Amino acid sequence: MMPTVEIGSEAPVQIVPVADLPEGVEALCVLGEAEGFRFLRRLIDDWRCGDNRFDQEGEAFLAVWMADRLVGVAGINRDCDDDTLGRVRRVYVHPEARSHGVGHALIGAIEQHARQHFKRLVLYTNAEPAMHFYESMGYRRIIGHPQRSHEKRLTP
């Protein structure tokens, strides 16, 4: 279990690995779709049909809880072509929880888990705010790759 993290003066944030879709993910999906993000619907659909449940070796799916409310999710998959490479996927933080350190804590937890399994992380985003967020966390932009926009080497 991941530790509880205090974020400023906000309620404690708990980041936990989950084996099932957490209660509240549909509400996050609706918020994401209102922002133009379709990846949470894909997460739900892929999970329900069994295509991706983040349950292979080295994989994980994390939920972020703040005051008993789901405020974020993120997953990591093993790359199908390179088992030293982890793919950060389906990262979403509730709009009201942004700019309070929740995203940094969530990606920090993903990276902590990934260090045990992978040498490098990659992800794809075409949203400028997300690009800046990842770059602020040490991810390097990849130019010209159709499925990867950023990468980060992990240190043991």
The distance of Cα 132 from the centroid of its chain, to the nearest Å, equals: 15
| Whole-angstrom distance, CA of residue 70 vs CA of residue 138 | 26
At 31-40, the pLDDT tens digits run 999 999 999 9
Q: What is the pLDDT confidence band of residue 99, given thresholds at 50, 70 and 90? A: confident
Full set of structural domains in the chain with CATH: 4-153 (3.40.630.30)
Q: What is the pLDDT of residue 156?
A: 62
The per-residue DSSP string of 25-62 comes to HHHHHHHHHHTT--HHHHHHHHHHHTS--S-STT-EEE
Q: What is the pLDDT of residue 84?
A: 94
At 122-149, the pLDDT tens digits run 999 999 999 999 999 999 999 999 899 9
